[in-house]
Structure 1
């Protein structure tokens, strides 16, 4: 029995029933990985997994709400019982904050007028949810010979880009919720990378770009496949690959 047969690579992608997460799952499955479709809605998760299987991939749905500690624990337990290890974790689940709390004003994240409940909800998913999931599956990642963690961030996380009055983000309204949550996520990425460096676990953040998804009402100009490409590249890094980095398809993103 070959080494490849004895160690099937297993990847968990959170928020993978649609959008960038779905694109990442499709590409990882195409590379031969067993892909676990993390989704809050069991039906949507199973539908996505079934479609990946129909396309020839090895995919399974895992019910996972990153903001629910019991859901996170149960998902980690299911992965342990069925697979015994995890090679790739893609923390993709995220929200913009639009319509999460009070639909009539949740689009307004201007710092001076923002609803604090909106900020809390965004951080609960985009930051605290990442910590919860990562810590829950870290024992499984440690059983991999080459574990990789990719946190899906955004160009909006870049303090360099967003603070430039003449830069590409100058026309956007200031955000007290989404952008700071992604800045916190990139900072968190560095801290996990520093802790896990000695274990050979590479941890990086990815900025997919402006992708055509539900989260921006399909105003993005990149396809899901294009946005997923950098995430997948970071998920399959070799042993000499970077860690504690922040990358887009064009290369490193300034902090």
Structure 2
């Protein structure tokens, strides 16, 4: 995604490639193409409660604001992992990490800016039992989203989640909460963002041929990461279609949030 973004931008632009392993960040940044925008590696561990805010402060000092942000952090989980053993760290990265990034960087968006949370088509109420829909539907603030994520996490940890109809595949509630976070923040920002031409959306890249996905499914025929990044880049660099604002988008099409919509 960073490579594709850098190729589409100009030499005067800067693309930040972030991660929590300094060696991997440096290596990845060094291997980026020398055409298009400059790629700069920067440490960011979204599981650290203050890290996103600290990086946002640094980038604001350097550039005055941001034009495009992708929230793409994810913790790898395999079929053999016990949800009770991994869920605390998992939510710190995937969910609280996402809302921290949103709080830190959406105030820095310039006119015409884009903030895209990379989520999944599994992140809709279609994949949750109806009795759970009100946990994530109609939330109006990121604090409310965080509260529901914490309640789900605690229910998994204390063993009560199974009786509450929560799915065993933890990716589903996690991704649903990510989309709910986008919807909640969009509700707060909609009028001002429309005036300023800003797009806030969630995006599903579809199945991708990666080692992590290969633990769960046969991904031999799935697109490569570079191929899967193209629709996300098109979303971020294309027009800010009003119908996509605050919604989950897959391959340019808006996905319904719940049955009957």
Instruction: Classify the TM-score, shorter chain.
Output: 0.7 to 0.9
Aligned-partner SS, 1:195 = helix
Aligned-partner SS, 1:222 = coil
Q: Distance in 1 between matches of 2:179 and 2:68?
A: 18
Give the conservation status (yes or no) of the 8 Å contact 1:37–1:61.
yes
Q: 1:203 to 1:177 in 2, by over 3 A?
A: same
Counterpart in the other structure of 1:80:
60
Counterpart in the other structure of 1:206:
203
Q: Distance in 2 between matches of 1:157 and 1:181?
A: 7
Q: 1:68 to 1:217 in 2, by over 3 A?
A: same
Counterpart in the other structure of 1:230:
231
> What are the superposed Cα offsets for residues 53-88 of structure 1, whole Å, 9 maximum, x if unpaired?
435541101100001023223322221222221111
| TM-fit CA distance, 1:151 | 0.6
Q: Distance in 2 between matches of 1:140 and 1:196?
A: 13
Give the conservation status (yes or no) of the 8 Å contact 1:80–1:140.
yes
Q: Distance in 1 between matches of 2:33 and 2:53?
A: 26
| 1:65 pairs with 2:45 | yes
| TM-fit CA distance, 1:49 | 1.6
Counterpart in the other structure of 2:146:
none
Give the conservation status (yes or no) of the 8 Å contact 1:208–1:230.
yes
TM-score, normalised via structure 2 length: 0.72
Counterpart in the other structure of 1:177:
170
TM-score, normalised via structure 1 length: 0.73
Give the counterpart of 1:137 among 76, 97, 105.
105
Cα RMSD (Å) of the superposition? 2.5
Aligned-partner SS, 2:93 = helix
Structure 2 unaligned regions, length at least 5: 130-166
Q: Distance in 2 between matches of 1:124 and 1:67?
A: 5
Give the counterpart of 1:52 among 11, 32, 38.
32
Structure 1 unaligned regions, length at least 5: 1-23, 100-104, 109-113, 164-173
Aligned-partner SS, 2:172 = helix
Counterpart in the other structure of 1:124:
92
Q: Distance in 2 between matches of 1:187 and 1:181?
A: 10
